[in-house]
Structure 1
C-alpha cells in the first residue's frame, strides 16, 4: 500500500501540525524507508519555515554508517543484509531464512553492479528499476546477532538526537531570515 507523495506530505504535515496545536514544538520523524527521506525533510522544512515547530527526519541505518559498513561487505540499500539482520532480531519468526539465497540471486548482490549512476546522475526512482525483485545486497550475511548490534547502536543514536534536540532553545531551531529588514 502507498499514497501519492503529495498526499503523504500533506498527511504528515497535518498530523504534525496537530501535535503543535497540543504544545509539541519539536518532532523526530523516525523513518525506515529511503523513499520517504526527501518527503519528510520537505515537511520538516515547511513546518520550520512557517514557525510551527521543528521537525527532523531520522533514518536508523544512516545514524550508524560506520557500523553498517563494518559488519557487511555489501550492505545494500534495499532489502539487503542490514534490513534483514534487523528483522531477524526484531521479528525473526517472520523472516524466511530459507529464501535468503533466492532473494540475493534474484536481486543484485553488489550495489556497484547495479549501475545506478549515469554521467553523474542517479537515473532510477525505485529499487525494482535495478533488479528483478528489488533487492540490493547479500542477505545471506545477515544474522539476528548482527541485527541486535545494529538496533542497539541506532537506538543509542536516536536517544542522543532526542537529548540534543531537547537541550536546544526553540528559537535557535527556527530559521534565520534570508533577507534583513
Structure 2
C-alpha cells in the first residue's frame, strides 16, 4: 500500500505492521545524471520489493533530502545536517508506528546517509515503540565499482529512467571525473568534499554501466530487500533481557 495514493480509510483496513521508508538525496551526480538519482533508485527498489514480497507492506513517502553537504560546491545540491536527518527519519517512523506499522525498513540510495541511518535505527529500536533497520541497495549487491554517478548508478538509471540520462554528456562526465573517492594516505581520506578530487562530481566511468547491467543490479538489490523484509516480518523484536 502506497500511502501517497491511499485514503485514511484504506490505511485503517490495512492488516500489516511492516513498512518501508525510502530515503535518498537531492545532490549532484555529474553532468549526465539527475540530482534526484539517489531517491529515484531508492523508491524504485522499495516499490519492487513491496510488490514481490509475499504479504502486505506499507510504502511511506520518500525522504528526498539527506546528508549531502560534501556535494555543496555543485549547484542544485540540497542537504540537511546529520542531526536534522536523524530527527526526520525518527519522527517519520514514529508516525508510522503510531498507526501500527512498527517494523520499518529504511531503503536507502545515498552513501552519505549510511552512518546516520545505522545510528538512528538503533535509537528507534532501543528507545521507541518500533523496530527499524537500514538497507542500502549498493551494499547489498556483488559489485566493487560503485563510484558516484559512475557505472552502477548510471547503469541503474539507464534501466529505470533512461530518459533522465544525458547521453550526450557521458564523454564529458568521464573526462572530468575521478577514478576513486577521495585522496587516501595511511588508510585515511584527506578529502571531505567531492569537489576536492573530482572536477565535475563524477567518480568512476559512467560509460561502463549499460541498461543490461542495470537490470541485473536492480534484480539483485530487490531480491536482497525481499529477503530482508521476510526476516524483519518474522523476527522477534522484543527487548532482550538484561544480563546479570
Q: Same fold (TM over 0.5)?
A: yes
1:79: Cα distance to partner? 1.0
- Could you say which structure has the higher helix fraction? 1
Pair 1:101 & 2:171 matched: yes
Distance 1:104 1:52 in 2: 47
Corresponding residue for 2:149?
79
1:76: Cα distance to partner? 3.7
Task: Output the aligned Cα RMSD.
Answer: 1.7
Please list the CA deviations of residues 30-81 of structure 1 after superposition, one character each: whole Å capped at 9, or x if unmatched. 00000011111111011112142221111111101x2x24xxxxx2421111
Report if aligned partners of 1:89, 1:148 keep a CA contact under 8 Å in 2. yes
Report if aligned partners of 1:80, 1:139 keep a CA contact under 8 Å in 2. yes
Q: 1:51 to 1:175 in 2, by over 3 A?
A: farther
Report if aligned partners of 2:158, 2:165 keep a CA contact under 8 Å in 1. yes
Corresponding residue for 2:137?
60
Report if aligned partners of 1:88, 1:144 keep a CA contact under 8 Å in 2. yes
SS in 2 for 1:102: helix
Report if aligned partners of 1:9, 1:43 keep a CA contact under 8 Å in 2. yes
Distance 1:175 1:49 in 2: 10
SS in 1 for 2:117: helix
From 176, 185, 192, give the equivalent of 1:125.
Answer: 192
5+ residue gaps, structure 1: 70-74
Q: Which runs of 4+ in 1 moved over 3 A?
A: 174-177
Please list the CA deviations of residues 134-155 of structure 1 after superposition, one character each: whole Å capped at 9, or x if unmatched. 2110011111111111101110
From 214, 217, 220, give the equivalent of 1:150.
Answer: 217
Corresponding residue for 2:81?
4
Report if aligned partners of 1:128, 1:135 keep a CA contact under 8 Å in 2. no
TM-score scaled to structure 1, two decimals?
A: 0.85
Q: 1:40 to 1:175 in 2, by over 3 A?
A: farther
1:157: Cα distance to partner? 0.6
Report if aligned partners of 2:138, 2:146 keep a CA contact under 8 Å in 1. no
SS in 2 for 1:30: strand
Distance 1:37 1:149 in 2: 23
Please list the CA deviations of residues 100-126 of structure 1 after superposition, one character each: whole Å capped at 9, or x if unmatched. 121111011x22xx5532222233333
